[in-house]
Amino acid sequence: MSTTANQKAGFGSTLWEYLTTVDHKKIAILYLIGGLFFFLLGGLQAMLIRIQLISPDNEFISAQFYNELMTMHGTTMIFLAAMPLLFALMNAVLPLQIGARDVAFPFVNALGFWLFFFGGIFLNVSWFAGGAPDVGWTAYAPLSIFSEGHGVDYYAIGLQISGFGTLMAGINFIVTVINMRAPGMSFMRMPLFTWTSFIASVLILFAFPALTVGLFLLTFDRLFGGNFFDPEMGGNVIIWEHLFWIFGHPEVYILILPAFGVFSEIIPTFSKKRLFGYSSMVFATVLIAFLGFMVWAHHMFTVGLGPIANSIFAVATMAIAVPTGIKIFNWLFTMWGGNIRLTSPMVFALAFIPTFTIGGITGVMLASAAADFQYHDSYFVVAHFHYVIVGGVVLGIFAGLIYWWPKMFGTMLNEKLNHWFFWLFFIGFNLTFFVQHFLGLMGMPRRYWKFLPDQGLDLFNLISTIGAFFMAAGTIVFLYNVIVTQLKGEKVSGDPWDARTLEWGIPSPPPFYNFKQEPLVRGLDPLWVEKRQGNGKIQPAEPLGDIHMPNNSFAPFMLSLGLFIAAFGVVYQGSMWVLAAIGFAITAGSMLYRSMKDDLGYHIHKEDLEKEGDGSNG
């Protein structure tokens, strides 16, 4: 597995390399491909929804298909697009930012990807097996209990499998940040993207188990005759809502915090100033995470939990606006007096600030429990969460992808096309969702298959659909850009943006061992410190020596494949239990293989390293 072999690999060996890789940079590319695939799928579903709602009383698709589409759009975008795309960025960048040669658990990292992948595929098999889930992405009981067919079974088990993967990825990043930092990289010198990914991973650790249990209860109720959510047998449907939102609300912060981190990298780089209020940014991140665990019931104001509970959760929700506001002002002050370059990632960042602020303001509006009775389940809510998730997370993901694309692939996306992508997407986004605020205030409920004519809803729905086409066009421009750029394959230097953090101090794409010598970190924004006070190159913290690397393994793929096969057995039962037995046997066998076999990795020898470049960005 030397670097020369990599350059001339045929298709078969490249495929095998990616199926067995434990290299975080390759796993990042896998997450990117998987995440983009599901992003396009979710986008396609959104387009069908918007086409159905282009005019009143439309018969473009059936009501049942509409329900399946809106369920799968939400589920896909949250679990199978946004999360993996963020994991792509984390895998690509986080270890490099802290000067690590690898993540803490390379094997588990690979396993996390394959579990996500097979879980997502399993969920989407439902389209071809009698219908996708049709109960909304929140799958509220008792609707989800009594939903016919196997759609919801696919939902519960598919998300369960990919949820395991997410949990593993989260633990991996927490330990990586704690144990693998380079000499001098203290916690308060970590780049903000690393900080926010770290905190998001902590949230994953504590939020996902609630979803795990919720999905198990749903599975047991549907497939094994359990009574958790069946009121006739003494069950209680509110338990599902609590478990879902105990997970679901931190999930929102799991998504948005890394996006905050991306912008906290981009804004200083293109303002040529260090981040304003670094320590308050860190503090605000931790505070958001802490408060984020105490607000979930604001999704349940209309359930009837009583005025005391509603008040507590309303106040806690509003409190989150404080640390978020701190962040907004810190970004503005970073730009203040800076030498601003309007590159495309910076344009994304500039657009993000007002867009996200609008989403935040409607968030505070929704947090007033009394007013929420009016907004609840209307298009106002749809507009709100698309402003934070598209205007925050999606803009963050694309800004991050464009910003780190050179680091991931060694090529540079065409800036002109990036700007085209931005303007099409941004204008389309505002057209689509800004008017939905008013649709909601006019009383249009969300998740409805059609609306009636002459109720004042026609025009805004038409505008909304037109906006969706703009967004689709923008996405196509981005994809075109990616294909053209990769086909051209024009290489750029290791530091094309004149950036500040450690990952830009090494070649692009980085060698598979990342750092030839462990870097010595001499301050916040280490590369910038060296550019100002040194020779512009990261100083080594150790003499050149052998580097220890982990071995590739096929076990993560097999382990996940086993669960994928077993899942069919669990859903269909009867004679299909054979499948479950085979699947679980494959999984158990892979686990056993992994623990029985000594895997000590291998060493790259000093002599081989000497032949390669000096390991700097030059």
Partner 1 sequence: MADDMLKSGNLPENPERATLEGRNKFLGFWFFLGGETVLFASLFGTYLALRNSTVDGPSSQELFGLGLVFLMTVILLTSSLTSVYAMYHMKNNDFKKMQLWLGITVVLGLAFLGLEIYEFVHYVHDYEFGYTTSAFSTAFYTLVGFHGAHVAFGLAWIISLMVRNAKRGLNLYNAPKFYVASLYWHFIDVVWVFIFTVVYLMGVVL
Partner 2 sequence: MVNTNSSNQKKHFYKKKHRDQMKHQVLTFAMMIAFTIIAFGLAMADVSPMFTVPIILILAAVQVLFQLYYFMHMNEEGHQWPSVMIYSGIFAAFLTILALTTIVWW
- The binding site for partner 2 (CB under 8 A) comprises 174, 178, 202, 205-207, 210, 236, 238-239, 242, 246, 293-294, 297, 303-306, 309
> What are the tokens at 400?
């991050």
CB of 600 to partner 2, least distance (A): 24
Whole-number Cα distances in Å, 162 to 79, 90, 424, 555, 601? 8, 17, 32, 17, 27
Q: Of 23-82, which residues contact partner 1 (CB under 8 A)?
A: none
Using the minimum distance from each CB to partner 1, give the nearer residue, 236 or 302: 236
CB of 309 to partner 2, least distance (A): 5
φ, ψ at 488 (rounded to 5°): -65, -45
Indicate the residue type of 282: V
Please name which of 405, 373, 544 lies closest in space to residue 29, comparing C-alpha atoms. Answer: 405
> What are the tokens at 417?
């096309």
CB of 351 to partner 2, least distance (A): 34
Indicate the residue type of 109: N
Query: What's CA 498's distance to the chain center, in Å?
Result: 27
Using the minimum distance from each CB to partner 2, give the nearer residue, 37 or 293: 293
Residue 304 touches which of partner 1, partner 2, none (Cβ within 5-8 Å per kind)? partner 2
Rounded to 5°, angle at Cα 257 from 275 and 163 = 150
Using the minimum distance from each CB to partner 2, give the nearer residue, 19 or 305: 305
Decide if residue 303 touches partner 1 (CB under 8 A): no
> What are the tokens at 420?
């085209």
What is the CB neighbour count within 10 angstroms for residue 65? Answer: 16
Using the minimum distance from each CB to partner 1, give the nearer residue, 82 or 217: 217
What are the residue ranges of helices labelled H in 320-414?
321-335, 344-367, 369-375, 379-388, 395-409
Give me the residues paired with residue 491 across strands: 411
CB of 217 to partner 1, least distance (A): 7
b/e string for 209-228 if b means 16 or more Cβ within 10 A? Answer: ebbbebbbbbbebbbeebeb
Using the minimum distance from each CB to partner 2, give the nearer residue, 303 or 321: 303
Of 416, 603, 605, 606, the one binding partner 1 by CB under 8 A: 603
Whole-number Cα distances in Å, 483 to 369, 475, 509, 617? 48, 12, 18, 25
Decide if residue 286 touches partner 1 (CB under 8 A): no
The H or E element that residue 540 is part of is strand 539-540
Using the minimum distance from each CB to partner 2, give the nearer residue, 283 or 577: 283
Decide if residue 175 touches partner 1 (CB under 8 A): yes
Using the minimum distance from each CB to partner 1, give the nearer residue, 372 or 518: 518
CB of 238 to partner 2, least distance (A): 5
The H or E element that residue 257 is part of is helix 238-271
The H or E element that residue 554 is part of is none
Residue labelled with tokens 């071809």: 128
Residue 306 touches which of partner 1, partner 2, none (Cβ within 5-8 Å per kind)? partner 2
Using the minimum distance from each CB to partner 2, give the nearer residue, 132 or 177: 177
Using the minimum distance from each CB to partner 2, give the nearer residue, 105 or 422: 105
Of 69, 121, 145, 243, the one binding partner 1 by CB under 8 A: 243
Q: Of 134-173, which residues contact partner 1 (CB under 8 A)?
A: 167, 171-172
What is the CB neighbour count within 10 angstroms for residue 83? Answer: 27
Residue 378 touches which of partner 1, partner 2, none (Cβ within 5-8 Å per kind)? none
Spatial separation of the C-alpha atoms in residues 138 and 253, rounded to whole Å: 17
Of 31, 66, 87, 105, the one binding partner 1 by CB under 8 A: 105
Decide if residue 225 touches partner 1 (CB under 8 A): yes
Of 13, 64, 179, 311, the one binding partner 1 by CB under 8 A: 179
Residue 167 touches which of partner 1, partner 2, none (Cβ within 5-8 Å per kind)? partner 1
Of 31, 114, 118, 228, the one binding partner 1 by CB under 8 A: 228
Of 152, 246, 254, 287, the one binding partner 1 by CB under 8 A: 246
Spatial separation of the C-alpha atoms in residues 52 and 382, rounded to whole Å: 16
CB of 197 to partner 2, least distance (A): 16
State whether residue 2 is helix, strand or coil: coil
Give me the residues paired with residue 411 across strands: 491
Spatial separation of the C-alpha atoms in residues 111 and 108, rounded to whole Å: 5
CB of 231 to partner 2, least distance (A): 11
Decide if residue 359 touches partner 1 (CB under 8 A): no
Residues that bind partner 1 (CB under 8 A): 104-105, 108, 167, 171-172, 174-175, 178-179, 205-210, 212-214, 216-217, 220-221, 224-228, 230, 233-236, 239, 242-243, 246, 546, 548, 592, 595-596, 598, 600-603
